[in-house]
Amino acid sequence: MGVVAPRAGSVKLNGVEMAGRKSHAIARAGMQLVHEERRIFGSLDVEENIVLAGLTAPKRWPLERVYEMFPRLRERRRSRGTDLSGGEQQMLAIARALVREPEIVLLDEPFEGLAPVIVHDLVAACRKLAEAGQTIVLVEQNLAATLALAQRVYILNNGHMVHEGPAAELRARPELLQRWIGV
């Protein structure tokens, strides 16, 4: 997203180099990042957060589509960001990215610190998005949630890729998980 410059290689979206571009240009090109810290506007209500996120988008989801994806946000649409639970804040952070109708969504530790029932709901929402054709790149330490969602898995160890392959392979071969993750 333009925050850290790659030391080697390239970052392309639809064949266009993204490395070296400013964050807003990368976002406009179709990539959205949902930060680990969520970064919602606490003084704005849910609906204001969503509308604000979509203001400069070339294409955007209608509010109704956001609320279909996250019915809890419809219920809380007049609640300020600071009044939401952690799970509701995460739904809002993801909704703010989706309202811009991105080609690719980067999720940074979206399940961290959330109750298992909320993680389950978020995984279901992400699966629904993926089935509809949304590309999602997930960086996550919650292995069960990751394997429930992922089609392809990359395991990093000290900044180096140590495994790459289909998620089904990791589900079928627990020794790989033991080797690289110790679970």
Three-class secondary structure of residue 105 per DSSP: strand
CATH, range 33-141: 3.40.50.300
Domain ranges of the chain: 33-141, 151-183
Beta bridge partners of 160: 157
Residue pLDDT, tens place only, 110-168:
999 888 999 999 999 999 999 999 999 999 988 889 998 999 999 888 888 888 999 99
- CA–CA separation, 178 vs 183, rounded Å? 5
List the Cα angle 165/168/6 in 5-degree steps.
Answer: 30
The pLDDT of residue 182 is above 80: no
pLDDT tens across 40-80, in order? 999 999 999 999 999 988 889 999 999 999 999 999 999 99
pLDDT tens readout for residues 75-124: 999 999 999 999 999 999 999 999 999 999 999 999 998 889 999 999 99
Radius of gyration of the chain (CA): 17
Report pLDDT for 70: 94
